[in-house]
Amino acid sequence: MSAKKILIVDDEVDSVETIRFLLEREGNSVLVSRDGEDALNQARRENPHLIILDIMLPKLDGYKVCMQLKSDKRYKQIPILMLTAKAQQKDKILGMEAGADEYIIKPFDLAAFIEKVKTYLRKEE
């Protein structure tokens, strides 16, 4: 699999660094954004192959970021994996209605998460 560009959007440094390490170890190029506004700008500028998106973000929440990207024909094909501590069913429903391809609740199994990322990246080939 050739190197893929992945955007991680999360304001928790530890979470970002753990995921970044695992994804880079797989040969991916990783971009990081710490707030929703920057996430939108980077997604539009870089057109990543996949976005890993937290919900609770400064400036613009993950639901809004997801909705804006998925409602734009230029970016709607980018898979978005919501990765969040918001575990209630209503939160998951909101995530899926916003257009998320997956809704993953923290804490999560790292190995299973990386396999899910690989699955979405293979779809992009």
The chain-wide mean pLDDT, for the chain, equals 94
* pTM of structure: 0.95
Q: What is residue 11's predicted lDDT score, i.e. its pLDDT?
A: 94
Strand pairing class (29-33; 50-53)? unpaired
Q: What is residue 71's predicted lDDT score, i.e. its pLDDT?
A: 97
Task: For domain 5-123, give the CATH number.
Answer: 3.40.50.2300
What residue spans define the domains of the chain?
A: 5-123
Percent of the chain topping pLDDT 90: 94
Residue type, 77: Q
- Give residue 94's Cα distance to chain centre: 15
Going by pLDDT thresholds of 50, 70 and 90, the confidence category of residue 3 is: confident
